[in-house]
């Protein structure tokens, strides 16, 4: 029987699956199997790396002149002066009816998107005149400040947002222009807090109470303006002036963070916590009676409120403390005499903002000034001598959070996912960390994989606030975002598609957009022995549509080098070739399946030719020069020689990665020492991996006048590549976005 030829070199090293998630905290050689170094726009559920679920836009757009009273209405192509007719547009381009138009009214009938015809009605009244009007819709301008879901007494569900000074709503199914609530104005600039409450009793002027059918309402606070009230129909600002001595209604006071707990509305006002009357969140008369509890005082300004998982207690946060209030005690006269009614549970662990709190089933999460905290970890910390923040693995992003902007952090949850949006490298929340509590969500799987894992970061939007809730029987999650193009948009996240759904305002069309993703593996092959990188093999699954894949490798030190660039076509209903045809039955009975690929990089060479010289050059040009460019000439070996190597995979489109394999050649080990020499010039490596080499060191000079050091001017030239086309002979590199 013929024998299998002996493979040259070392056996391949395989990496994957990756159910344990991202770990950017440990040194590269210490990252364990099952982890990867970093991920962008990916998931790792089941241990398989995959393009993240899509974001679907709900554009924050509005039209003008809903009732004709504003004088001027802007059309898609021009403007006109309107009358006081009752214009009620329901959607762009639909036919609407103006009833009882006054005599002599000037209106505009829009024939199409380009032509505008002025029509002067004859003297006399005209009723039920049908005409078509195309309204211009534009992005609502202002600072996005908050978002919530609200279901009213008639079971209508709305998205409600705060942008600038104003409040807007959008009724289910969330496809229309947003409606402004003109009765509400909030003149602050910080976050807006929405709290859904229930009115079950009303209080009359004589103090008597009457039971009423439960009425869901929304109380809106910003810490500066009077509290807002909205029930889906009626909107107004509440009057907090006291009945005694001012004769006021004693309604909800001005506050910031609020929570509905124990059938009362709790609201913070600086360092004070106040509670509404029982079953009536817009009345605050009970607190006027000393024997009924008054208000609670805390040592610092309150930064957030939330219920515990059993809704028996209220968690009250300041910058440096966490306290509890036994909000389940109904009888207010018992508050002052109940031991531990107000209790400090964590000293030194606070919360940065009310937007940085999330509930993940039975667990409360919040962001403190030092890191991500959970309720169980806080309890455990006060039974030991250490505290373990839950975001260590996100060190690359956490270390780049903009100083002084922690209060902008926003958190949300969906299913088993926890989302933490942070201002990393940006003044807005450019990175959304995603943690999966169940990466291997199967009943029969035992072992380590029952622990959570981090996906890395999701990018593309900059969430200001998150909200998750039931919409017509389905749990959905939304965020309001200050997007990179300067527009405010609401996004539904974790949709079924692995494509982002964008919106083009001029054409009023939604367009799918492929998602750009990346994965950086841990250091592979690290065993204390030098080796030579040859090539890598990548196993791809679930490919749908067109995918652009790029693969890079790097040693333990130095930058990444590109070794694969490939366009993959797994035809779905969006065809690359317009001449391709399908049988009509195939659309119904033969759906297309995702495809698989095994791709391999080029083999890495030990020498490189020089442009313009014969191949091979004489003498050959070693890769040492390229390695020196990316390590300030501190590495004595070429890039291909090291203890271990990492792969960086970038792709745009829909696919999953099941594993990667890296092949090495044995390399001669160093057996002798050397006499090290001093380094006599400035050496820098910038964030793109480029080396900057300076001239000889110039002594620092003390400026006597300022008692400070003068800057040292670098006069040397930097060896930079000028041609980054992979097809050429020059050495490409990876540049982060």
- Confidence band, pLDDT 50/70/90 cuts, at residue 591: low
Residue 564 CA to residue 726 CA, distance in Å, equals 9
pLDDT of residue 284: 92
Q: Same structural domain for residues 132 and 254?
A: no
pLDDT of residue 35: 95
| Structural domain that includes position 326 | 192-352
pLDDT of residue 10: 61
Rounded to 5 degrees, φ, ψ at 218 are: -120, 125
Bigger pLDDT: 98 vs 495 = 495
pLDDT at 550 exceeding the cut of 90: yes
pLDDT of residue 686: 58
- Minimum mean pLDDT range among 105-119, 659-673, 691-705: 105-119
pLDDT at 3 exceeding the cut of 70: no
Q: Is residue 488 part of a domain?
A: no
Q: Same structural domain for residues 131 and 202?
A: no
Q: Same structural domain for residues 98 and 234?
A: no
Q: Same structural domain for residues 203 and 340?
A: yes
Q: Same structural domain for residues 111 and 241?
A: no
Q: What is the mean pLDDT of residues 419-437?
A: 95
Q: Same structural domain for residues 249 and 332?
A: yes
Burial class (CB in 10 A: 0-12, 13-18, 19+), 362: exposed
Of 72, 104, 136, which residue constitutes the final position of a domain?
136
Q: What is the mean pLDDT of residues 113-130?
A: 32
pLDDT winner (highest mean) among 17-31, 329-343, 456-470, 685-699: 456-470
Torsion, CA 642, CA 646, CA 650, CA 656, rounded to 10: 140
Tokens of 458: 């999701």
Output the 3-class SS for 12-39: CEEECCCCCEECCCCCHHHCCCCEECEE
Of 300, 332, 352, which residue constitutes the final position of a domain?
352
Residue 525 CA to residue 637 CA, distance in Å, equals 17
Bigger pLDDT: 243 vs 282 = 282
- Confidence band, pLDDT 50/70/90 cuts, at residue 605: low
Nearest Cα to Cα of residue 200 among 282, 289, 295: 282
Q: Is residue 206 part of a domain?
A: yes
pLDDT winner (highest mean) among 235-239, 501-505, 525-529, 733-737: 235-239
Q: Is residue 239 part of a domain?
A: yes
Tokens of 455: 């996906």
Q: What is the mean pLDDT of residues 610-619?
A: 47
pLDDT of residue 451: 81
Q: Same structural domain for residues 311 and 218?
A: yes
pLDDT at 5 exceeding the cut of 60: no
pLDDT at 250 exceeding the cut of 60: yes
Rounded to 5 degrees, φ, ψ at 395 are: -55, -40
Bigger pLDDT: 38 vs 562 = 38
Q: What is the mean pLDDT of residues 405-413?
A: 96
Q: Is residue 262 part of a domain?
A: yes
Q: Is residue 101 part of a domain?
A: yes
Q: Same structural domain for residues 130 and 237?
A: no
Number of domains the chain contains: 2
Q: Is residue 614 part of a domain?
A: no
Of 115, 136, 157, which residue constitutes the final position of a domain?
136
- Give yes or no for a cis peptide into 245 (omega within 30° of 0): yes
pLDDT at 424 exceeding the cut of 80: yes
- Minimum mean pLDDT range among 81-85, 177-181, 238-242: 81-85
Q: Is residue 281 part of a domain?
A: yes
pLDDT of residue 116: 30
Q: What is the mean pLDDT of residues 354-378?
A: 93
pLDDT of residue 155: 94
For the chain, give the percent of residues with pLDDT over 70.
Answer: 71
pLDDT of residue 694: 52
Those residues with Cβ within 8 angstroms of residue 65's Cβ, 6 or more apart along the chain or in another chain: 72, 73, 74, 82, 87
Q: Same structural domain for residues 242 and 314?
A: yes
Q: Same structural domain for residues 249 and 101?
A: no
- Confidence band, pLDDT 50/70/90 cuts, at residue 528: confident
For the chain, give the percent of residues with pLDDT over 90.
Answer: 49
Q: Same structural domain for residues 207 and 335?
A: yes
Q: What is the mean pLDDT of residues 335-355?
A: 93
Q: Is residue 332 part of a domain?
A: yes
pLDDT at 177 exceeding the cut of 70: yes
Q: Same structural domain for residues 236 and 89?
A: no
pLDDT, the chain, mean: 78
């Amino acid at each position: 029987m013929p024998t299998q030829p002996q493979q040259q070199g070392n056996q391949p090293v395989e990496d994957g699956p990756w159910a344990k998630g991202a770990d950017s905290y440990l040194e590269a050689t210490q990252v364990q199997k099952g982890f990867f170094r970093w991920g962008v726009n990916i998931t790792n559920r089941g241990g398989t790396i995959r393009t993240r679920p899509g974001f679907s836009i709900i554009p924050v757009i509005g039209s003008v002149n809903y009732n004709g009273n504003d004088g001027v209405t802007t059309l898609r192509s021009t403007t006109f002066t309107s009358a006081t007719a009752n214009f009620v547009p329901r959607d762009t381009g639909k036919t609407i009816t103006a009833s009882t138009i006054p005599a002599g009214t000037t209106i505009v009938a829009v024939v199409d998107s380009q032509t505008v015809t002025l029509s002067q009605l004859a003297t006399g009244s005209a009723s039920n005149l049908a005409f078509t009007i195309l309204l211009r819709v534009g992005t609502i301008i202002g600072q996005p400040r908050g978002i919530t879901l609200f279901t009213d007494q008639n079971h209508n569900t709305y998205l409600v947002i705060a942008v600038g000074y104003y409040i807007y709503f959008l009724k289910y199914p969330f496809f229309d222009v947003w409606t402004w609530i003109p009765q509400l104005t909030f003149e602050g600039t910080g976050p807006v807090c929405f709290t859904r409450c229930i009115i079950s009793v009303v209080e009359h002027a004589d103090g008597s109470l009457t039971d009423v059918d439960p009425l869901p309402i929304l109380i809106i606070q910003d810490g500066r303006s009077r509290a807002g009230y909205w029930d889906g129909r009626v909107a107004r600002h509440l009057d907090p002036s006291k009945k005694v001595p001012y004769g006021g209604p004693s309604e909800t006071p001005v506050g910031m963070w609020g929570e509905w707990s124990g059938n009362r509305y709790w609201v913070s006002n600086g360092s004070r916590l106040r509670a509404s009357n029982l079953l009536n969140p817009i009345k605050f008369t009970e607190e006027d009676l000393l024997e009924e509890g008054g208000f609670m005082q805390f040592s610092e300004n309150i930064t957030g409120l939330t219920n515990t998982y059993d809704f028996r207690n209220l968690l009250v946060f300041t910058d440096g403390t966490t306290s509890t209030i036994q909000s389940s005690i109904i009888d207010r006269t018992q508050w002052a005499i109940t031991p531990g009614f107000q209790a400090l549970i964590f000293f030194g662990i606070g919360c940065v903002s009310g937007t940085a709190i999330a509930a993940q089933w039975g667990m409360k999460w919040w962001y403190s000034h030092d890191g991500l905290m959970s309720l169980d970890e806080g309890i455990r910390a006060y039974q030991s001598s250490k505290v373990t923040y839950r975001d260590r693995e996100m060190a690359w992003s956490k270390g780049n959070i903009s100083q002084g902007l922690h209060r902008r952090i926003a958190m949300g949850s969906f299913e088993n996912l926890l989302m933490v949006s942070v201002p990393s490298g940006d003044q807005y929340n450019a990175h959304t960390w995603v943690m999966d509590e169940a990466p291997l969500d199967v009943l029969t799987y035992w072992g380590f994989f029952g622990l959570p894992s981090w996906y890395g970061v999701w990018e593309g939007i900059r969430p200001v606030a998150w909200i998750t809730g039931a919409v017509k029987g389905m749990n959905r999650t939304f965020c309001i975002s200050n997007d990179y193009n300067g527009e405010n948009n609401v996004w539904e996240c974790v949709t079924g598609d692995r494509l982002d759904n964008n919106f083009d305002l001029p054409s009023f069309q939604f367009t799918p957009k492929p998602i750009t993703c990346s994965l950086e593996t841990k250091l592979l092959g690290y065993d204390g022995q030098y080796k030579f990188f040859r090539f890598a093999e990548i196993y791809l699954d679930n490919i749908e549509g067109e995918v652009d894949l790029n693969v890079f490798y790097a040693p333990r030190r130095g930058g990444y080098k590109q070794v694969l660039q490939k366009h993959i076509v797994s035809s779905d209903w969006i065809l690359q070739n317009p001449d391709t045809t399908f049988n009509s039955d195939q659309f119904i009975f033969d759906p297309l399946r995702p495809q698989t690929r095994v791709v391999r990089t080029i083999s890495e060479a030990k020498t490189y030719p020089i442009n313009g010289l014969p191949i091979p050059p004489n003498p050959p040009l070693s890769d040492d020069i390229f390695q020196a460019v990316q390590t300030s000439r501190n590495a004595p070996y070429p890039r291909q020689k090291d203890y271990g190597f990492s792969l960086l995979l970038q792709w745009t489109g829909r696919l999953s990665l099941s594993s990667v394999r890296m092949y090495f050649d044995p390399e001669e080990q160093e057996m002798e020492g050397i006499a090290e020499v001093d380094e006599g010039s400035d050496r820098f490596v910038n964030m793109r991996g480029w080396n900057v080499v300076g001239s000889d060191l110039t002594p620092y000079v003390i400026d006597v006048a300022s008692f400070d050091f003068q800057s040292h001017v670098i006069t040397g030239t930097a060896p930079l590549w000028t041609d980054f086309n992979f097809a050429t002979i020059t050495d490409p590199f990876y540049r982060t976005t």
